[in-house]
Structure 1
């Protein structure tokens, strides 16, 4: 079942699972960003711990005062005031400490999410193709709360807890060596067993249940974003069953995890019983021997109450710590993953020119392919030339465009645009110089204005409307209830195919890039609209290097040059009439297109 939903990134994460120390080091980097907030939080927490350590002393002093002083002695009230005052001071200082932890956590969680998202955005197209979008989103949000769990566990509970436990054990060792010895042994055993068992016994099952949790996100996103397809095949029940299989696998995995946490919890409580019996028993024995006062017994009882509370919290927070580390592990691993396509060190921005394109001995192979698609491929496109790429599916047409955008890196050779090696300039600046109108444009679930203006951040309303008019989109937009402020739905689902296509064309008008790529850009338009948009596209192509990927050959007859691709090679090139008269591959494709064959 897992193979149906498990993407390559998920499998890779399991193989490269980071150690707890590596994930904790990743989180600690965020603590170091705000040393003042972190230092004040730690400092005040330690002050609160000091008051907590003083509570058994205050308790013992109160009992000794009551037991030894005559009735009505004012010293009893002073001892009571000290006992209450110590606890009050602890509560106040602890609360103030939280005032520093809150902004530290909020800001660091914000930055972790933003930076992790930026990292994911920078990953290659191959990485995104291999990863479920829903699973990636799940990992990002899970890591944010994982940070919160780890920070709370380490700085608010585990660190102070260890100080209190060790401090009280030493204090009892001084008062009653037997009680102190028992206390130290139990505390050390408790911490050691918890840490070891949680990492070795609980963590593997927790990572597995996390993987299934990510798969739930992936399966949900896959079905929800494809809901029109689901409905068109009446497959709602089938998709529900498919999700049920994933959630059933998650249920089995998470039950193992929770049962293991429960096993650990049982062991913790058994150790607490040993601590309770040891401490109070040792103190009562000391009292019978005359070596312990009633105040010592009260000290032990108060210390046990404190220690048992901290130990329970420690057990709970060790589990919380482990879960938080596991929840953050994927994002921490991403930070160690080098970008599959990286800018060269010190790469300058691409400087747009007239749009000359040159492939020089290019060799390129997709990672899943055995043989190269392009093998020492060379080609030149002149500035302002209109070139059409035709050929069967898989012949290399779309790859040509992806390579000039540097969505993939070459195995050999180089690609130059206006004399600049595309691998030596920044990817962002390069892609801004290439406007692409895809065959199936995907829009953001934002307003039409935002979708068109995406091509030019900061574009004015007038510029957006002018681009929409050129793309013949303005009129249908004005007919919508909220005009340019209309939300288009996820991937533009509220618009028809032709409307989405015209919005994408409006983007290209607004981008005003020197290189234009039309990937069967009018395929979703009706005949009348196609004619209008073709006329507008003619104006857009004027003075620009234009690459048209075409399956309908009727759209490329006006191209300056037609390149016929076959298995990564250009087997024919020329104008429409020349190639048709030649009687070769293009002529055969044209005959099929016209219904002659």
Structure 2
């Protein structure tokens, strides 16, 4: 009953993830809708921020009216001091309330806006990690990581800009225009007309600059990608004395980015200049109109001061609103550009009706599989292969014959165009990805390690493994000797991609990781090809222990490593051309016997000389 409940829960989780994935992909190129998605998750906090800003701006505007009352009360203040005191107390209360509500909004926003940023990063990483390997093959890691950060930063900046730069001047202008109506309704109507016209004009001009802002965002992401690419391959750069060349290449990218950024900023300055000239003329006209009313006896001295201060408030408000609109346009354009890069639909979404992989006997079958990478010729053509449970099978063949593609298809990195791949009789396209990955361990040619402790790297596939379990796996992988020499033992940090370890040490860590995972199917991808003889012997003995009681498929160029295997499968041009035991294939003409003879001559040559 518990297993059934777990399966139902897992199926419900997959349906939710699939639905969420489809939902998120719809936001590509729709940054405003994406913003509302995250704002909606923290509605209460955003309502508090909005209400705080609204009340604070209202108090600030009321303070202007309070000043007007205080000025009008002064002429008769000596005879009636209570009038002045009342006006003074009201003004003080309004000023205190103004500051209090700004602080309430600021405290709430500090948590809410940062929380939204975390939501964006988490969801974007989850969506990004669900892409098929082909997506990552076409993109630089630095570009993708910079897009995730750019999205989060853009959302945070937009929220801050709206809350503290765009919304207050909007409210100030609306309130100021309403208060001007107390002095003169025609003046208030004129302010409405001018303000709305100015805002629409600025918004239209700001929209025209979107292409410039998007171009800058794309160039900035490209520079980030180049930096990560070069820094990640710094050893290669130095080995080929290419530091000056890479500096020149980066300088060219920076020059392009700087030009795009300059175009974006100059357009912003053009908008600000036009706005400044317009609002200066507008304010002068407003003040002149108020003085004319005062001269006609239709406005008090306090009302002249009120309209003057409100006029400057409107002046500064339209200026701040113009700056905010331009900045918002720039950041929303950057957000839109990032969504178009990251939120492309998943090429291989997990089906909602998948079932967990149940392995009774770990067999592997390829049934009439044909596969080609996008835009390239077929790699496998009607490929058939049956591997029995517990069998050790070596794959050999010329480069490009399809060996690595077979491994990729077994792990469901790609979907074959025709045919099916089955494990324990189940089509892997109809099983959950998690259960498939749990059933397979791999020791790659170039062991990939995180910049984390060796302990974390080894138990990466089994996070809850005890340290005792890890140490047993290390003993099986012949790691104990060099781990004892490490300054921190298992707590030693491996460095970027395992840079602090030798090739042989990295391979043994990968073997320990696979041994700890204890999966029924083991893939070995040239696990000893780039090692010296001593390291190879240590790793061969570790691999021998690892292969016990597992179905093993190995890619190898050194045929000596496959002599204890049950079968050798020779692949050429996407088809099986030979299949048999090492002894059987060595006795018949073909690729295997020719390769074996060539390797024996090569290794024997030094001894002859």
Q: CA deviation at 1:593?
A: 2.2
What aligned pairs does 1:283-432 form with structure 2 within 5 A after superposition?
283-333=290-340, 336-369=343-376, 371-432=377-438
Deviates more, 1:49-58 or 1:294-303: 49-58
Distance 1:211 1:335 in 2: 13
Q: Is the 8 A contact 2:368 2:419 kept in 1?
A: yes
Report the equivalent of 1:7: none
What are the superposed Cα offsets for residues 247-283 of structure 1, whole Å, 9 maximum, x if unpaired? 1111111111111111111112112202311221111
Report the equivalent of 1:107: 115
Change (3 A) 1:277 1:67: farther
Q: Is the 8 A contact 1:146 1:326 kept in 2?
A: no
Question: Of the candidates 505, 521, 528, which is equivalent to residue 515 of structure 1?
Answer: 521
For structure 2, which runs of at least 5 residues remain unmatched after alignment? 1-25
Look up the SS of the partner of 2:571 in the other structure.
strand
Report the equivalent of 2:234: 227
Change (3 A) 1:335 1:231: closer
Q: Is the 8 A contact 2:474 2:480 kept in 1?
A: yes
What are the superposed Cα offsets for residues 209-250 of structure 1, whole Å, 9 maximum, x if unpaired? 111111111111111110111111121111111111111111
Q: CA deviation at 1:312?
A: 2.6
Distance 2:572 2:201 in 1: 65
Distance 2:76 2:415 in 1: 85
Distance 1:342 1:113 in 2: 21
Question: Of the candidates 209, 212, 216, which is equivalent to residue 223 of structure 2?
Answer: 216
What aligned pairs does 1:92-131 form with structure 2 within 5 A after superposition?
92-131=100-139
Q: Is the 8 A contact 2:176 2:313 kept in 1?
A: no
Report the equivalent of 1:493: 499
Report the equivalent of 1:525: 531
Distance 2:91 2:164 in 1: 23
Alignment of 1:457 onto 2:463:
yes
What are the superposed Cα offsets for residues 78-115 of structure 1, whole Å, 9 maximum, x if unpaired? 22332333222111112112222221112111111111
Q: CA deviation at 1:541?
A: 1.1
Q: CA deviation at 1:337?
A: 2.5
Q: CA deviation at 1:181?
A: 3.2
Report the equivalent of 1:42: 50
Report the equivalent of 2:31: 23
Question: Of the candidates 71, 92, 97, which is equivalent to residue 63 of structure 1?
Answer: 71
Q: CA deviation at 1:524?
A: 3.2
Report the equivalent of 1:78: 86
Alignment of 1:176 onto 2:184:
yes
Q: CA deviation at 1:368?
A: 2.5
Alignment of 1:543 onto 2:553:
no
Q: CA deviation at 1:164?
A: 2.3
Q: Is the 8 A contact 1:194 1:315 kept in 2?
A: yes
Extract structure 1 runs of 4+ deviating beyond 3 A.
16-19, 67-74, 330-336
Alignment of 1:561 onto 2:580:
no
Q: CA deviation at 1:69?
A: 5.3
Deviates more, 1:181-190 or 1:224-233: 181-190
Deviates more, 1:37-46 or 1:460-469: 37-46
Distance 1:172 1:456 in 2: 70
Report the equivalent of 1:205: 212
Report the equivalent of 1:447: 453
Report the equivalent of 1:163: 171
What are the superposed Cα offsets for residues 302-321 of structure 1, whole Å, 9 maximum, x if unpaired? 11232233223212222232
When normalised by structure 2's length, the TM-score is 0.91
Change (3 A) 1:176 1:67: farther
Q: Is the 8 A contact 1:396 1:568 kept in 2?
A: yes
Q: CA deviation at 1:34?
A: 1.9
Q: Is the 8 A contact 2:58 2:175 kept in 1?
A: no
Report the equivalent of 2:17: none
Q: Is the 8 A contact 1:209 1:250 kept in 2?
A: yes
Change (3 A) 1:142 1:291: same
Q: CA deviation at 1:205?
A: 0.9
Report the equivalent of 1:282: 289
Q: Is the 8 A contact 2:143 2:221 kept in 1?
A: yes
Q: Is the 8 A contact 2:144 2:342 kept in 1?
A: no
Change (3 A) 1:352 1:275: farther
When normalised by structure 1's length, the TM-score is 0.93
CA RMSD of aligned residues (A): 2.0
Q: Is the 8 A contact 2:66 2:87 kept in 1?
A: yes
Q: CA deviation at 1:17?
A: 10
Distance 2:488 2:77 in 1: 83
Q: CA deviation at 1:66?
A: 2.5
Q: CA deviation at 1:336?
A: 4.3
Report the equivalent of 1:11: none
For structure 1, which runs of at least 5 residues remain unmatched after alignment? 1-15
